[in-house]
Amino acid sequence: MRQAYGETLLRLGSENSNIVCVGGDTTDSLKTKIFGEKFPNRLFNVGIAEANLVSIAAGLAIAGKISFASTYAAFVPGRCLDQIRNAICYPNLNVKIVVSHAGLSVGPDGATHQQMEDISVMRSLPNMKVLVPSDSITVKNLIKQIVDING
């Protein structure tokens, strides 16, 4: 599914120069590296700083970009709920928060990388739409669809 995300983002980025990707040291694991190789000025790796990641994605959206904020599910919303709610949801900005490694799927990484409440917390936010793909085909289709959805 992660490969499908990177490939779809690359294809859509070729069609729309307003698509940008902000990542939290996840270019290899979320496969956004291929997007950055073709569009180095449109991929921003902020490191392990999820609150900054969300704030930067919001700023890019204010500037008219379609921001894809990519990181692990354990860290969104865990490390940046205030920024998501206040900087993205309340003003209904065009930011797509894309996460991987959800729930217990990263067992070997330990408890710090496992979050069971991410979907329920995100669903409680105003102007937030939560989509959960089940396979690579669904990832490709959802990513294509959310480009055209504001917010």
Tens digits of per-residue pLDDT, 58-92? 999 999 999 999 998 888 888 899 999 999 999 99
Cite the active site residues.
Answer: 50
pLDDT interval class at 42 (50, 70, 90): very high
Q: Does residue 112 carry a pLDDT above 80?
A: no
Q: Quote the pLDDT of residue 106.
A: 62
Cα atoms in the 13 Å half-sphere on the side-chain side of 40? 1
The CATH number linked to 49 is 3.40.50.970
Report the mean per-residue pLDDT for the chain. 91
Residue at 93: amino acid letter: L
Q: Quote the pLDDT of residue 38.
A: 98
Domain count, the chain: 1
pLDDT interval class at 94 (50, 70, 90): very high
Q: Quote the pLDDT of residue 109.
A: 67
Tens digits of per-residue pLDDT, 2-13? 899 999 999 999
Q: Which residue has the tokens 């859509």?
A: 12
Cα atoms in the 13 Å half-sphere on the side-chain side of 9? 32
In the predicted model, what is the mean pLDDT of residues 40-52? 96
Q: Which domain holds residue 121?
A: 2-147
Q: Does residue 107 carry a pLDDT above 70?
A: no
Contacts (Cβ under 8 Å, ≥6 apart) of 49:
24
Q: What is the pTM of this model?
A: 0.91
Helix (H, G, I), strand (E, B) or coil at 11: helix
